[in-house]
Structure 1
Amino acid sequence: MENSGKIFSINISAKKGIPKTPVKTARLIENFGIEGDVHAGDQTRQVSLLSWENICRHPKLKPGDFAENITTAGINLKKMKIGDKILIGEKAILEITQLGKECHSGCVIQKETGKCIMPKLGIFAKVIKGGGISTGSTIVKI
């Protein structure tokens, strides 16, 4: 796990506070996020990322259960810093905007999973350059 990896799963949802549904492909839209996802918009947390290596420690959980948009494999997200950029596939670029998050008391995900790992292990990004992505696409820190 270093500076490169791949997309293990792409996950989207139409509503907030629910696990996301895996999809094979998606479109990242510049300054917006993932097309069709509720968290997309003009803000700094357009896309969320969480590693499969952390999710699989919870045997009953699967990609999207922590409401992450992109489940990664192989790349060390814990080494990312705010301002770092990652290239996904051939042309999509994300810029890291936030490390972790504060869980609110009514968090549906925390109630369903027992413990949400997004506050410590999730990262958030904005789309600097859009493009198509798919399961298996490469992820490289640039």
Structure 2
Amino acid sequence: MRVHSVNHDTQHHFSKPPVPEITLIEGIGVEGDAHAGATVQHLHLIKVDASAPNLRQVHLIQSELFATLAAAGYEVGSGDLGENVTTYGVDLLNLPTGTQLHLGDTAVVTLTGLRNPCSQINKFRKGLLKTMLHKDAAGEVVRLTGVMSVVNTGGIVRPGDQLEVVYPTEPHQPLDLV
């Protein structure tokens, strides 16, 4: 398990360009990123309650998703879906709430929930939303747009860094929308 790519953008653009490294700041998020802050920074959520805690400080997506999307006819790469950290070798979507991810030498984030896909995905790639948000054979809603987290311990994160998963104490709770 490792970090495949790190990405950030100072503006509220849909995609975030890959960069050589990011610095995670405890309780804030990615230094210099438009979504960094102790309170919500997502433009839609600010309108709802600007004083709410920011449970979306760091967005992570597993790079294995890109092959699935390519098979469906969509070219998508690291940072294209707005994630700060693209991972390899871990099924992020099936980790429980409260899972800690140790990234690189010192950084630690705690998973808070799932990212809810929005219509901006169709502006990025027409028709992509129905692939990212659909129902499985059992009728359960499947969201493929990654997971959100908060920073517990800051540090520098680079592509190629090791990633360690630390599960919370049981009983485990599945990730829900944040």
- Same-fold call, TM cutoff 0.5: yes
Q: Does the alignment pair 1:88 with 2:103?
A: yes
* C-alpha contact 1:81 1:99 (8 A) present in aligned 2: no
Q: Please identify which structure carries the higher strand content.
A: 1
In the alignment, the residues of structure 2 paired with residue 128 and residue 141 of structure 1 have an alpha-carbon distance, to the nearest angstrom, of 14
In the alignment, the residues of structure 1 paired with residue 97 and residue 36 of structure 2 have an alpha-carbon distance, to the nearest angstrom, of 19
Q: Show the counterpart of 1:126.
A: 150
Q: Give the 5 Å matches for 1:65-104.
A: 65-103=80-118
Q: Percent identity?
A: 33
Q: Show the counterpart of 1:115.
A: 128
Unaligned runs of 5+ in 2: 39-53, 134-141, 167-178
* C-alpha contact 1:11 1:20 (8 A) present in aligned 2: yes
Q: Structure 2: which amino acid aligns with 1:58?
A: L
1:20-62 deviation per Cα after TM superposition (whole angstroms, max 9, x unaligned): 1000111100000011111111111000000110023334221
Across the aligned residues of Structure 1 and Structure 2, the Cα RMSD in angstroms comes to: 1.7
In the alignment, the residues of structure 2 paired with residue 112 and residue 44 of structure 1 have an alpha-carbon distance, to the nearest angstrom, of 24
Aligned-pair CA distance for 1:17: 3.5
Aligned counterpart for 1:58 among listed residues 52, 69, 94: 69
Q: Does the alignment pair 1:18 with 2:37?
A: no
* Number of positions where the alignment pairs a residue of Structure 1 with one of Structure 2: 135
Unaligned runs of 5+ in 1: none
In the alignment, the residues of structure 1 paired with residue 100 and residue 24 of structure 2 have an alpha-carbon distance, to the nearest angstrom, of 15
Aligned counterpart for 1:138 among listed residues 157, 162, 168: 162
* C-alpha contact 1:82 1:99 (8 A) present in aligned 2: no
Which has the larger Rg?
A: 2
Q: Structure 1: which amino acid aligns with 2:154?
A: G
In the alignment, the residues of structure 2 paired with residue 128 and residue 110 of structure 1 have an alpha-carbon distance, to the nearest angstrom, of 33
